[in-house]
């Protein structure tokens, strides 16, 4: 199964087929090499999509709302509510 097929399957099951969820899951699958491993923070399920030397970045959704999570070496989780994924221009890199 391709990453896109896998992302669509999970998005249909967990997010009502929301295309933003497909995008989030596809970014996660690409980052994790096809492995799905989400984590829940403050009731929102997040999926890691990038990192840099000091932070890890994740995308999440709950009730149709998009969220960005960043966690740094010396800081707790920073959660930002977004209208859409384009509202966040940086997701780190691998």
The 10s digit of each residue's pLDDT in 27-80 is 999 999 999 999 999 999 999 999 888 888 999 999 989 999 988 877 778 888
Q: Determine the pLDDT at residue 22.
A: 94
**Rounded to an integer, what distance in angstroms lies between the CA atom of residue 1 and that of residue 3?**
7
Q: Determine the pLDDT at residue 36.
A: 93
Task: Output the pTM of the full model.
Answer: 0.86
C-alpha distance from residue 60 to each of 28, 70, 77 (Å): 10, 11, 13
Residue-by-residue DSSP string for 14-61: HHTT-HHHHHHHHHHHHHHTT---EEEETTEEEEEEEE-SSEEEEEEE
State the pLDDT confidence band at 87, using cuts at 50, 70 and 90. low
State the pLDDT confidence band at 81, using cuts at 50, 70 and 90. confident
Bigger pLDDT: 46 or 85? 46
Q: Determine the pLDDT at residue 70.
A: 87
């Amino acid at each position: 199964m391709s990453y896109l097929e896998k992302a669509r399957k999970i998005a249909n099951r967990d997010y009502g087929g929301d295309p933003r969820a497909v995008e989030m899951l596809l970014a996660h699958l690409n980052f994790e090499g096809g492995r799905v491993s989400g984590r829940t923070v403050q009731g929102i399920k997040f999926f890691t999509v990038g990192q840099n030397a000091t932070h890890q970045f994740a995308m999440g959704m709950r009730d149709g709302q998009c969220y960005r999570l960043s966690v740094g070496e010396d800081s707790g989780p920073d959660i930002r509510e977004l209208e859409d994924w384009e509202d966040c221009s940086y997701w780190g890199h691998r």
